[in-house]
Amino acid sequence: MNKGHKNRAGRTGMTARALLVALIVKQMMQCSYRKLESEMISNLNYMKLAEINAEEKHMFSKSALQANLTVIQPETWETIIHTITKFGIEEEVTSCAEVRIDSTAVAVNSSYPNDTKLLYQGIERLQHRSKRLAELWNGKKEIKDNKRKAKEIYLKVLFRQTEDINYSLKKLIKLAKNSCQIGRKIVEKYESKKFENEKYYRIYDELQTLIAMVERVIMQTEIQMYYGKRIDADERVHSYSEPHARFIVKGLRDRVLGRKLFLITNRDGLVATAKLTEKNNNDCAMLKQIVDAHVEQYGAPYRLAGDRGFISHPNISYLKDINVKTIGLALKGSFKREHLDITNNNYRFMQKFRAGVEANISHLKRSFGLRKCNWKGARNFESGVLSAIAVYNILKLSKLLLI
């Protein structure tokens, strides 16, 4: 892993086996990369399991671990999840004949957003990126410092030291617009000079994206302040560091800024299928897509259980069409057991079976870090969630094999 560096004098990368052992240790202990480095170096059992000699301890530096863990694509982790489950089926220690479906919210590592905070953070980030880019031609002195004024206004609003919040918001909007103008001038100057430094091109690209996001924040703040309207959640900016995150609402529980995760687990608690969605999708609308992905890998299940969020007439017809013999979706409203073609005893059995998925989700959140994923960026967030599920499956299957 990670052997694509150009410098031939550097050390070789980690093996895939060593990386998998490191990931299992990290998810089990829920530790930082610094803590993981010391654990991998000090524990001879981990070294032996990873097939690494004691002389090669330098391979477990925190920077190497982070670089290697984040380089793996979400699709790879998804394949690993399927491979683990299929191996369990081949060894006849588990089965996908009886499955249950549910959804949960996974939070991103970002603070709760509001317009005042987003405006201040936008000004702060614009100032930083603009100064970094202006270093190329020693133009830092040309940039007006709006950060100090913005921080003063933001803290007054935060600690309620101002009587007119709208007046403070107008000041912040003015500073944000000014920072956007400065950023655009820096971008134009960079384009005119035609620099070829890859490092600064990344900052140039980030600055362009940031200007567009800050302008959207200004727009959504003005619409709410002047017209009393709120923009649709899918069109709003909730976070600069995690723009892929959305507010997930499930029942009467608190809103979570993150992504929605759909899971299909079997009787033994193995996660057979896991899908992250980009929006706060309705459970009912997502059943066909999730079950299709499951059927593609394992075939149609004999029994399927789910809560009342997944029940609808089209979903019942679809499950009957793919030959699911026992449909155990929880009833609501005008739905009756006759719609599911299920007896009273079977319905009660399926609802007790369905409740097991709640324990699987609780275990994932408490012991494998799925309450909040700290991996930054949309791709890394997906990798972090799916890697936690892969480790969970490895530990579950190892217990089944030992029984």
Indicate if 44 and 124 belong to the same structural domain: no
314 in any annotated domain: yes
pLDDT score of 315 = 96
Residue at 78: amino acid letter: E
The answer to whether 101 touches 263, Cβ cutoff 8 Å, is: yes
Task: Write out pLDDT tens, residues 153-180.
Answer: 999 988 888 878 889 999 999 999 999 9
Distance CA 327, CA 360 (A): 21
Q: Could you tell me the CATH number of the domain that includes residue 330?
A: 3.30.420.10
Indicate if 59 and 164 belong to the same structural domain: no
Task: Write out pLDDT tens, residues 133-147.
Answer: 988 888 888 788 899
Indicate if 283 and 220 belong to the same structural domain: no
What b/e readout covers 241-270, taking b as 16+ CB neighbours within 10 angstroms? ebebbbbbeeeeeeebbbbbbbbbbbebbb
pLDDT score of 284 = 94
Indicate if 396 and 269 belong to the same structural domain: yes
pLDDT score of 353 = 95
Indicate if 265 and 305 belong to the same structural domain: yes
202 in any annotated domain: yes
pLDDT score of 12 = 61
214 in any annotated domain: yes
Indicate if 41 and 134 belong to the same structural domain: no
Indicate if 103 and 124 belong to the same structural domain: no
Indicate if 88 and 63 belong to the same structural domain: no
Q: Among the three residues 227, 260, 284, which one is the final residue of a domain in this structure? A: 227
Give the up-direction half-sphere exposure of residue 307: CA atoms within 13 A in the CB hemisphere: 14
Indicate if 268 and 393 belong to the same structural domain: yes
336 in any annotated domain: yes
Per-residue pLDDT of the chain (403 residues; tens, 9 = 90+): 544 545 555 556 678 888 889 999 998 888 999 999 888 888 888 888 888 776 666 667 888 888 888 888 999 999 999 999 999 999 999 999 999 999 999 999 988 888 899 999 999 999 999 999 988 888 888 788 899 999 999 999 888 888 788 899 999 999 999 999 999 999 998 888 777 667 788 889 999 999 999 999 999 999 988 888 878 877 889 999 999 999 998 877 788 999 999 999 999 999 999 999 988 889 999 999 999 999 999 999 999 999 999 999 999 999 999 999 999 999 998 899 999 999 999 999 999 999 999 999 999 999 999 999 999 999 999 999 999 999 999 999 999 999 7
8 in any annotated domain: no
Q: Among the three residues 165, 192, 227, which one is the final residue of a domain in this structure? A: 227
DSSP SS3 for 19: helix
DSSP SS3 for 159: coil
DSSP character at residue 98: E
Indicate if 257 and 377 belong to the same structural domain: yes
124 in any annotated domain: yes
Indicate if 340 and 251 belong to the same structural domain: yes
- For residue 314, give Cα distances in angstroms to 284, 287, 318: 9, 10, 6
- Segments forming the whole domain that contains residue 41: 16-70
pTM of the model: 0.90
pLDDT score of 200 = 82
CB atoms near residue 325 (< 10 Å): 14
Among the listed residues 243, 242, 281, 234, the one whose alpha carbon sits nearest the alpha carbon of residue 262:
281
DSSP character at residue 138: T
pLDDT score of 274 = 96
End-to-end Cα, the chain, rounded Å: 34
270: tokens are 């193995």
Indicate if 181 and 264 belong to the same structural domain: no
4 in any annotated domain: no
306 in any annotated domain: yes
The structural domain count of the chain equals: 3
pLDDT score of 40 = 87
Q: Among the three residues 227, 261, 293, which one is the final residue of a domain in this structure? A: 227
What b/e readout covers 196-211, taking b as 16+ CB neighbours within 10 angstroms? eeeeeeebbeebeebb
